[in-house]
Copies of this chain bind each other. A is one copy, B any other.
Amino acid sequence: MSDIKYVYTFGVGETLGHAGMKDLLGGKGANLAEMTRLGLPVPPGFTVTTEACREYYRLGGRLPDGLVEQVQDAMTQIEHVLGRKFGDTQSPLLVSVRSGSAVSMPGMMDTILNLGLNSETVQGLVKRSNNPRFAYDSYRRFIQMYAEVVSGVRAELLDQIFDGRKQQERVVEDQELSSSALKDICDSFKDQYWRSTATSFPEDPQEQLWGAIGAVFKSWNNKRAREYRALYGIPESLGTAVTVQSMVFGNLGDDSATGVAFTRDPSTGERRFFGEFLVNAQGEDVVAGIRTPRSLTEHDRDPSEAQSLELEMPRSYQELVEAYQKLELHYRDMQDMEFTIEQGRLWLLQTRTGKRTAHAAIRIAVDMVHEGLIDKVTAIRRVQPSQLDQMLHPTFDPQFKQEAKNSGRFLAKGLPASPGAEVGQIVFTADAAVAWASQNKPVILVRAETSPEDIQGMASARGILTVRGGMTSHAAVVARGMGKCCVAGCSALTVDEHAKTLMVGNTILGEGETIAIDGSTGEVFLGTIATMHPQLGTHYQELMQWVDGVRQLRVRANADTPHDSKVARSFGAEGIGLCRTEHMFFSPDRILAVREMILAEDETHRRVALSRILPMQKADFKGIFRAMEGLPVTIRLLDPPLHEFLPSHQEEFDAIASATGKPVEVVQRVTESLRELNPMLGHRGCRLGVTFPEIYETQVEAIIEAACELIRDEGFSIVPEIMIPLIASARELELLREVCQNAVNRTIARMNQPIDVLIGTMIELPRAALTADEVAGHSDFFSFGTNDLTQTTLGLSRDDSARFLPLYVELGLFDNDPFAVIDPAVAQLIRMAVEKGRSKNAKLKIGICGEHGGEPKSIRICNDIGLDYVSCSPYRVPIARLAAAHAAIGTTGLAADV
């Protein structure tokens, strides 16, 4: 016999397990042991270790030596303590069997209750409870669970028997069935078991117990669990524990009850005991919602409700209050407990860290710091960056959303491209969006996909819904930048822009019909749903102060307008990491000059057109510098291919022709000649600067004039950061840096106002990363454009990947959507570029301005590589601040108070 200890008891003899043993006992077993050690009333039981499971697999599915003896020994101890015997016909011991690994996992075996019942021991239960109906209902439930979970009998076969009998008895509710009917059902279940498995239902409680333990072990390796582990990188070798616990019953009469309790309000975070219970019920009844549970406290009780537990069972309530106080103080976090009162006696069946809303998470964390329960670092850890998202945008009222689902108004699900929840009328073109919005109509812009021409329409719409495109498609990126709700890549929709119809299955919607879109979940509904607008509070402000004290990464925003800059600053942005100058080009008063510039036949004409754009850009820059006074602003020179500024429809060609005075054939010919097969890899970014240096010169002049005027006239202190996009080779940057520096010098001389300027580049092509040492020789800063870097490193178009990327993530070919979370290979390039860059230029400032800059896992990567800052859309700035703090804590292991 082996010396290895495979079984840890709790509530009998010395309890050796504790909360720190989750790896060996699973979360459930470890917490049950811990509660026992705290002296709380826990029904006695034991946990078979994960090590036994691992050994079981090592032995090819055989039980390890000593396990049977250790289990029997534990059972004997329980029998002794409770004065009941397993398999005894007079006073039978009944147990529950549950799986429990260190990480909870779908696909693992469910609970089996009432194990130990058979046609003889059930008589003992009848006697003990003096309630034959209860006893046979317990037996019926056991057979059903065991048959389904252990032996794989199809659930619907048993449901048919049960429902058939109910019909036969003409009853509606389960509890209306008589004990004899339930006894018959038990027999029918056993018949079905025999037909399904060709074996008899086990009468021997020992056989039942080992069947259940074996089923837990096997469930560790079923398909769903394996896939889940592969997906989340959980080691195969972990194994699962099995917890066997003596049964207690909340349904033994009106002196029995069962319920759940939270040590604080999980929805507001308020510090008060909160929970629900049912008299004469089993735990699953509370969850199932068949009967309406009652409040634990009088304070919470609704006038229409029956009295609270506080008054109904004051002694048990008092015991429960003491238990919750002890548990919260012990775990120093809000607990979610399950309890049962069996004939007046309180038993605790589970405790775990309670789930909570974002608001509650923040309030609980901050309160607990003030109460001296936790330190500030722990408080920061307690709030997940992703939780903040729901606080920063409107959401649908969950109740009304559920109603919409129930009433069949759910239409389709796309990608949750930009959070928020909006209701509006469908329009199919940007022009219509602008027109309808100007009449104060709320509109949702629905497009197959958006393009830069749609910017004004997007700005006018409440929300955006597209058929194609992924998480970093044009629609998604622009919408997030605007803080506007967007559902992208909703491929179940068919949009016909000419017919102005939107088709989903058999539903056809026309212009003006109302839909509701949830950018946080990707859901699309017909009709309206009420929204809620959460408020940031003082707890939030206090937490974020601590956050800012901990983090090492600076957080900037991607903002293109004075308005966005102000929003970003209000969310705590410490500068602008990416100001895209091209978005300024699309407003109706400018696009004509931009098009004239593109259609110009030579440099001279191009300069004339550019000179008309300069004052407009300058005004934008002044507004942005003003909004960001005292903070750094990085401005990217023109990036998109010129054809993005030209139209695609005949009417528009005509309009441009008449506006510019050029023959329509010329407009068409230029447009055609600029067309590209792969515009993403085409004539864009710094390649425009190389072929048309006058464009970059003009933009630099506008930046420097704006900054100089604010310095000279208003005493600002500004060091503009000019960023050159899409650099592939150091020599490109060398050339363009000279072009920009010359333009800076000329402008300084003209304005007679000295000014310092930084000139740097985006690293968004693998070549730039691979040659970053050379590039750094001509650069004051690097900013990783991870959208494009991901596209090129993976050879993956963000706009075209919707057809296969979801399948890729599902099959685990990528751990994450690489446009959401920085891909490991992209991270490798970033790390290489940072090392090479700093080796050549120690003063290099390094940041990231791709969409990943606002995503917590990616921020962790940026922190670990040692970037100076991340930059993200304004509405993600708080998330990024918190994620940066989490990353800093993770990296430094910083634990002391701050």
**A positions within 8 Å CB-CB of B:** 449, 676-683, 687, 690-691, 726, 728-729, 731-732, 735, 764-767, 770-771, 788, 791-797, 799-801, 803-804, 807-808, 811-814, 823-826, 828-829
The 8 Å CB contact of A766, one of B728, B797, B813, B825, is B825
| Residues in B whose Cβ lies below 8 Å from that of A681 | 678, 680-681, 791-792, 795-797, 800
Taking a contact as CB atoms under 8 Å apart, the answer to whether B767 and A825 are in contact is yes
A-B contact pairs, 30 of them (CB 8 A): A676-B800, A677-B679, A677-B680, A678-B678, A678-B680, A678-B800, A679-B800, A680-B795, A680-B797, A681-B791, A681-B797, A682-B797, A683-B800, A683-B804, A690-B804, A690-B807, A690-B811, A691-B803, A726-B795, A728-B796, A735-B811, A764-B795, A766-B766, A766-B792, A766-B794, A767-B795, A767-B823, A770-B825, A771-B824, A771-B825
Report how far A173 CA is from B228 CA in the complex, Å. Answer: 94
The smallest beta-carbon distance between A674 and chain B, in angstroms, is 8
Closest residue to A770 on the B side, CB-wise? B825
Taking a contact as CB atoms under 8 Å apart, the answer to whether A800 and B766 are in contact is no
Report how far A843 CA is from B687 CA in the complex, Å. Answer: 42
Q: Given A678-B799, A770-B825, A824-B771, are A804 and B691 also a contact pair (CB < 8 Å)?
A: yes
The 8 Å CB contact of A793, one of B449, B792, B803, B824, is B792
The smallest beta-carbon distance between A427 and chain B, in angstroms, is 21
| Residues in B whose Cβ lies below 8 Å from that of A813 | 690, 729, 731-732, 735
Known: A676-B799, A687-B804, A766-B795. 19 other contacts (CB 8 A): A676-B797, A677-B679, A678-B797, A678-B799, A678-B800, A680-B681, A681-B681, A682-B800, A691-B807, A729-B813, A731-B811, A731-B814, A732-B808, A732-B813, A735-B811, A764-B795, A766-B792, A767-B823, A770-B829
Q: Nearest 5 CB-CB pairs, A to B?
A: A681-B797, A682-B800, A678-B797, A765-B795, A766-B766
Report how far A828 CA is from B799 CA in the complex, Å. Answer: 29
| Residues in B whose Cβ lies below 8 Å from that of A770 | 793, 825, 828-829
Report how far A801 CA is from B735 CA in the complex, Å. Answer: 19
| Residues in B whose Cβ lies below 8 Å from that of A797 | 676-678, 680-682
Report how far A818 CA is from B844 CA in the complex, Å. Answer: 29
Report how far A885 CA is from B680 CA in the complex, Å. Answer: 39
The smallest beta-carbon distance between A347 and chain B, in angstroms, is 47
| Residues in B whose Cβ lies below 8 Å from that of A687 | 804
Name the residue among A771, A797, A799 with the largest chain B CB count within 10 angstroms: A797
Taking a contact as CB atoms under 8 Å apart, the answer to whether A795 and B796 are in contact is no
Closest residue to A791 on the B side, CB-wise? B681
Report how far A825 CA is from B825 CA in the complex, Å. Answer: 16
Closest residue to A814 on the B side, CB-wise? B729
Report how far A824 CA is from B687 CA in the complex, Å. Answer: 19
Report how far A767 CA is from B826 CA in the complex, Å. Answer: 8
Taking a contact as CB atoms under 8 Å apart, the answer to whether A794 and B678 are in contact is no
| Residues in B whose Cβ lies below 8 Å from that of A766 | 766, 792-795, 825, 829
Closest residue to A726 on the B side, CB-wise? B795
Report how far A799 CA is from B807 CA in the complex, Å. Answer: 30
Closest residue to A734 on the B side, CB-wise? B813
The smallest beta-carbon distance between A464 and chain B, in angstroms, is 17
Report how far A799 CA is from B683 CA in the complex, Å. Answer: 11
Taking a contact as CB atoms under 8 Å apart, the answer to whether B794 and A767 are in contact is yes
Taking a contact as CB atoms under 8 Å apart, the answer to whether A683 and B792 are in contact is no
Report how far A812 CA is from B792 CA in the complex, Å. Answer: 24
Report how far A490 CA is from B382 CA in the complex, Å. Answer: 63
The 8 Å CB contact of A678, one of B679, B690, B691, is B679
| Residues in B whose Cβ lies below 8 Å from that of A449 | 677
Report how far A788 CA is from B731 CA in the complex, Å. Answer: 23
Report how far A803 CA is from B801 CA in the complex, Å. Answer: 27
The smallest beta-carbon distance between A67 and chain B, in angstroms, is 36
| Residues in B whose Cβ lies below 8 Å from that of A794 | 728, 765-767
